[in-house]
């Protein structure tokens, strides 16, 4: 089986960041801010995650909240610690956390990420 990327399908641009180095906060604890991944932008397709679409990419997944499936070129830096930010066509900014990530067929060509939106 061959894994291919349909570049024209990746119409959205997401900004990716992950946890930075913990820094002492002066009160005996630590603070940690997000730092951009390398590369920090990721062209992808975004679709609402349904039970059927999620289980197609991620085995035994049950969706009970607002989730999305993001598909794009392979990005080795995306993990379950990654934060994803994008602006939709209605100019609304979304912030999401990665729940699961999949290297499609293990070929290093396509990354599929299951994300859940963080609502303030």
Kindly list the distances between the CA atom of residue 20 and the CA atoms of 34, 44, 94, in Å, as whole numbers in the listed order.
5, 24, 21
Question: Predicted confidence band at 26 (pLDDT cuts at 50, 70, 90)?
Answer: confident
Check: CB of residue 115 under 8 Å from CB of residue 84: yes
What is the predicted pLDDT for the residue at 110?
92
Quick one: average pLDDT of 104-109? 82
Burial zone of 77 (CB within 10 Å; 0-12 exposed, 13-18 middle, 19+ buried): middle
What does the DSSP 8-state code read for residue 53? H
Tell me the percentage of the chain whose pLDDT exceeds 70.
78
pTM of the model: 0.67
* Residues in CB range of 99: below 8 A, 6 or more apart: 67, 80, 114, 115, 116
Higher pLDDT, 97 or 108: 97
Q: In the CATH scheme, what is the homologous superfamily, with its name and number, of domain 9-20+31-117?
A: Bacteriophage SPP1 head-tail adaptor protein (2.40.10.270)
What is the predicted pLDDT for the residue at 57?
66
Quick one: average pLDDT of 95-101? 93
Instruction: Give the whole-angstrom CA distance, residue 80 versus residue 16.
Output: 12
Is the pLDDT reported for residue 2 higher than 80?
A: no
Average pLDDT, the chain: 84
The per-residue pLDDT for range 43-88, each reduced to its tens digit, is 998 887 776 666 666 666 554 456 899 999 999 999 999 999 999 8
């Amino acid at each position: 089986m061959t894994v291919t990327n349909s570049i024209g399908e990746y119409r959205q641009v997401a900004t990716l960041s992950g946890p930075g180095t913990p820094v002492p906060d002066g009160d005996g604890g630590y603070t940690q801010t997000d730092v951009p991944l390398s590369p920090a932008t990721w062209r992808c397709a975004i679709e609402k995650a349904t039970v059927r679409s999620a289980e197609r990419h991620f085995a035994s997944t049950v969706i009970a909240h607002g989730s999305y499936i993001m598909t794009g070129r392979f990005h080795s830096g995306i993990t379950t610690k990654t934060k994803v930010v994008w602006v939709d066509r209605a100019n609304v900014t979304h912030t999401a956390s990665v729940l699961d990530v999949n290297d499609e067929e293990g070929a290093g060509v396509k990354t599929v990420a299951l994300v859940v939106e963080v609502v303030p």
